[in-house]
Structure 1
C-alpha cells in the first residue's frame, strides 16, 4: 500500500539528492550519465528577475508549460500586469509530460507513476510530482517566497501539506476544469474559480465567500484587421481540441458541403476527424502571428463544445471581432454578452446549421455582432481582470489592500488529506 507520509519523506530525500542538479545550468532535455540504468535530467528552468527589493512581496508561480499556448494566451498572462513595484515574481515551468523528471529509468518511472496518479488522475505527471518536490525547500525556508501560486491545480499541489506553518509561504491554487474533474483533485488553502465552477466551490466552503474571476485576453495583440472582402466566401474558424465537439463540427460541415460560399478552417494540435472533408482546411503548428492572421481573415468563430470553463479560443476570436456560434453552457454565457453570440443546445447540428446560415446570408448582422464581440473582449482585457486576483496575506492583491474576509478556505477533500492530516502536519512541525 502506498504511504503518503513515507512518500513525502522519501520525496524530501530525493529533492536533497537532486539539489546539486537543480543548481546547474543544463537545458531541460539534456541528460547526465549516472549509470547504465539511471539517467538524470535537469528539471524545467525557473524564470526569475533580479532579487526583490526591500518591501517588495516575493511570489513564486509554479505552472505547466503547454506547447500549444502562444506568447499571448493562457492564464499566466495576468503575471505581466502585476505591479513590479509591489510584487517580485519567479516562475517555475513544468512540462506537460515526464520530460523534466530527473530520473529517466523506465522501470522507476512506471513504479512511481502508478503511485502518484491517485483517483485515476492520468494527467498528473511525474513532472508535476517533481515540481512539488522542488517546492519543499520553499515551504521550509522562512526566507523563501511569501506565497506559492500553483497556477494549474489539476497538475499540482496534490501531496504537499496544505497548512501554512509559521512564516512559511501561503499557498494559492487556481483550478480550470469543470466540476466533474475538480471533485477528484481539490486540496487548497485559497480558491480562485471560474464561472461554471462556482456552484462546486460553494458546496465545499459553506458560508465563506467565493470569488469568481473570469479569464482575460490581450486585446492589444488580438484585434480585428482592416480588410476588404475579396470574395463572397464566408469563413468559419474552429480552434483548439480540449472539450471541442468535433463530432458536431463534422456533422455540420458534411451537411453544408454544397454551400459553396461557406468554408471551414480547423486549428488543432491533434486529429479531429474532419480532415477528409473537402470544405474543411486543417491547420497545425501555427505560430502566434499565423493564428492571429487566420482569426483576422475569418468571419465566424464556430466553437461547438462538450463542456467548458474558461476558453482561450473564445476570447481570442471575440477580441478579433468574430461573431460566435457555440454551445449553450453556463461558462460561455458568462463570457459572451447580448448580441455577441448565438448559443445552441449541446450537439444540436440542426441549430448550428441554422445559426451559421443565418449569418452567412446576413452580412449586416455579422458586422453588428462583430462590434459587440470586440466590445465584450475589451471588458475582459487583462488590465481589468488581473487586479481581481486576490493574493493571500502577507501579500496584497494588485490595485487594492488585502482583505482577509474575501479569501475562500477549503477543507481538504481528498482521502489523503482526511486520512493523513493528523500524521503529516505534526511531522512537518517537527522539522522547524
Structure 2
C-alpha cells in the first residue's frame, strides 16, 4: 500500500483521516523525489498554468507540494503495482487515473466532503470513475458519488477515532455544566452564537468552552459564560473533552467529524444538527439530534441534559460504546477488505 495525502495542518496529532496510514503497513513515496518535484514546480515560470491552477475549482487543490505528490504517485504506478490510496480525494486526486499504470496497480480514493462542497471544489467528477474503489464516510455521500464512480466501486467506510487515546474520565463534582464546541469546518457559528446569547439571557447555568481557529475568536469576544481556546495541544484537547458534560455540534452539513467521534470516545453525549450523515454516527441513545438552524430546540436539548441527572450519564456510556465501533483498528480492517477485494475480481 502507498498512501498519498498531506496532513491537514489544523488537525490534532491524534486526529485526522491520515491516522489510517498508521494502522496499515505501507511503503512511502520517496521524500527526496517529492522535494525535488516540489522545488521544480515552485520555480516554474508559466504564469498561465499557475493562473489556471490558482483559480476555482483548482484553488482548493493547488499547492506545489500536492501536485508534486500526485505526479510522483503517477510515476510510481507506472513502475510498480500495489494499492495507491489517496486519503483526501478532494485535495489531492485530479489526474492520476488518466495515465497508464502497471498491471496490478490499483487506485483507491477517500472522499470527505458533502455534495455541495464536492461540486464546488472537484473540477472533474468523472475522474472518480477511473478509480478502482471510492470510499465514502456516510451513506448519503455514497449515494451521491455512485453517479460518478459507479455503484459497484463506492464503499461506505466510516471515519475513525483513536479510542485508546480519547477516553472518558470521571466528571468532577462541581456545579458547572460545560458545553464544549470544537472546530470550524461546516460549523453553524450563527446558531452557536445565538444559543450562547440566549443561554446567558435566561441565566441557564450553561458554561461554554469553545475551541476555535484564530479567525473566529473575535466573533465570540464578550460572549456570556464562555471560555475560548485556540491552538491547544493534544493533551489539553483531551482534557477539554473529558471535563465537559456535553458536546455541541451545530453544523450546516455533515459527512464525518473528528470532533464528534473524539467527544463520543471521551464519553460525551452530543447535541447535533440532524443533517447529512449525522445519523450514521450517532442516535438517540448517545445524544440528541435537533433540526438545523433552530437555536430554540438546540438550547432546549442542552438544558434537558443539564436538568436530567440520569439521562446524561446513560448517554455518556452509550456514546463511548458506540465510538468503539469506529476505532481506527476496526476501520483499518474494513479498508483492508476493500484492498483485497480489488484483486479478487
- For this structure pair, what is the TM-score category when the shorter chain's length is used for normalisation? 0.7 to 0.9
Q: 2:220 aligns with which of 274, 280, 305?
A: 274
Alignment of 1:357 onto 2:294: no
Distance 1:388 1:262 in 2: 40
Q: 1:223 aligns with which of 139, 162, 167?
A: 167
Question: Residues 263-302 of structure 1 correspond to what in structure 2 (within 5 A)?
Answer: 263-272=207-216, 273-302=219-248
Distance 2:318 2:29 in 1: 36
Q: Match for residue 73 of structure 2?
A: 135
Alignment of 1:308 onto 2:273: no
Distance 2:332 2:71 in 1: 29
Question: Residues 149-160 of structure 1 correspond to what in structure 2 (within 5 A)?
Answer: 149-160=85-96
Alignment CA distance shift 1:81-1:206 (3 Å): closer
Cα root mean square deviation, aligned: 2.5
**Most deviating of 348-357 and 266-275:** 266-275
1:69 deviates by: 1.4
Q: Match for residue 246 of structure 1?
A: 189
Judge conservation of contact 2:211–2:230 (CA < 8 Å) in 1: yes
SS in 2 for 1:264: strand
What runs of 5+ residues in structure 1 fail to find an aligned partner?
1-58, 94-99, 405-432
Alignment of 1:180 onto 2:124: no
Distance 1:159 1:209 in 2: 18
Judge conservation of contact 1:241–1:270 (CA < 8 Å) in 2: no
1:261 deviates by: 2.2
Task: Output one character per residue of 1:245-289: Cα deviation in whole Å (capped at 9) or x when no partner.
Answer: 111000000111142621101112233322331322111110000
Distance 2:227 2:8 in 1: 24
1:120 deviates by: 2.4
TM-score with structure 1 setting the length = 0.70
1:314 deviates by: 0.2
Task: Output one character per residue of 1:25-52: Cα deviation in whole Å (capped at 9) or x when no partner.
Answer: xxxxxxxxxxxxxxxxxxxxxxxxxxxx
Judge conservation of contact 1:337–1:376 (CA < 8 Å) in 2: no
Alignment CA distance shift 1:238-1:109 (3 Å): farther
Judge conservation of contact 2:271–2:288 (CA < 8 Å) in 1: yes
Structure having the higher helix fraction is: 2
1:175 deviates by: 0.8
Judge conservation of contact 2:113–2:255 (CA < 8 Å) in 1: yes
Q: 2:53 aligns with which of 112, 116, 133?
A: 116
SS in 2 for 1:217: coil
Q: Match for residue 191 of structure 1?
A: 134
Judge conservation of contact 1:235–1:298 (CA < 8 Å) in 2: yes
Alignment of 1:369 onto 2:318: no
Alignment CA distance shift 1:135-1:202 (3 Å): closer
Larger CA Rg, structure 1 vs 2: 1
SS in 2 for 1:356: helix
Distance 2:71 2:193 in 1: 44
What runs of 5+ residues in structure 2 fail to find an aligned partner?
32-37
Alignment of 1:69 onto 2:11: yes
**Most deviating of 178-187 and 379-388:** 178-187
1:396 deviates by: 2.5
SS in 2 for 1:88: coil
Distance 2:188 2:27 in 1: 37
SS in 2 for 1:389: helix
**Most deviating of 364-373 and 131-140:** 131-140
Distance 1:178 1:243 in 2: 10
Alignment CA distance shift 1:129-1:396 (3 Å): same
1:165 deviates by: 3.4
Alignment CA distance shift 1:278-1:110 (3 Å): farther
SS in 1 for 2:98: coil
Aligned length: 327
Alignment CA distance shift 1:292-1:363 (3 Å): same
